[in-house]
Amino acid sequence: MLPDLSLAVGPPLDIEVVNEQTTWENSLLGLESGKYIFVPGADATPERLEKFDFVITMKDGYSFEVKAGSPEIGSEMTDLCGLTIGLVTGSSPIPTLQKQSKDCVAGGMDPIEIKTFPDWASGELAAQSGQIDAATNTLSSIGYQAQQNPGKWAVTGPVFQETEVGFAVQKGSEWGPKLVDAVNSIIEDGSYAEIFDTYGTPDMMIEKSRLVTQ
């Protein structure tokens, strides 16, 4: 979904968008250095807003990805108790899972073991190898992975920390307002809805994009 959205804003901007696969950490470093115009799939955390502006493209939330054939996780946060969960270092769900782990213990259940990785690919490898029970990422990211790799991944568990996400751009960049206009253009012409329909996620759509700077 994220690569498709990135490509879709190319024509309204009159530029050719090239999706480059890299680690999350390197993508933000590349954005800072000017290597990239924008980085998709980013939520506007207070720390990130110190360096970047955000063009809202969708509503998203976090859930869990497990190796296909693994036991599914229930839909409640308490179903995470006793599991080993992997996620990217510095990502926004960490405090939420840390609090839930404390709640698990307070309720007489086993804590959540949280393991962090330098990038998403490392977390996925850990899930595939059995080092962790599940990896945590946005629904858009894990949904895309599950669709692109049938029989390899299953999306399961509770959906939490629902938020708005979008394209990160350099602070004060001229590309922020341009991207807002481009996203609103594809919303109006229907190509935006077509992308979400393809992935079966119409609930993640927004009615209008906007720029978040603080």
Round to whole Å and give the CA distance between 120 and 41. Answer: 13
Question: CA 142 to CA 135: how far, in whole Å?
Answer: 9
Q: What is the pLDDT of residues 70-121, one digit of tens each?
A: 999 999 999 999 999 999 988 889 999 999 999 999 999 999 999 999 888 8
- List of domains in the chain: 2-59+163-212 (3.40.190.10), 61-162 (3.40.190.10)
Whether the predicted model's global pTM rises above the 0.75 cut: no
At which residue do the structure tokens 């054939």 appear?
Answer: 69
The mean predicted confidence, pLDDT, of the chain is 92
H helix or E strand, kind and range, residue 199: none
CB 94 within 8 Å of CB 114: yes
> DSSP characters for 11-79?
HHHTS--------HHHHHHHHHHTS-S-EEEEE--HHHHTTEEEEEEEEEEEEEEEETTSPPP-SSGGG
Region 58-63: what's the mean pLDDT? 90
DSSP class per residue in 154-177: EEEEEEEEEEEEEEEEETT-THHH
pLDDT band at 149 (very low <50, low <70, confident <90, very high): confident
**Residue 54 banded pLDDT, cuts 50, 70, 90:** very high
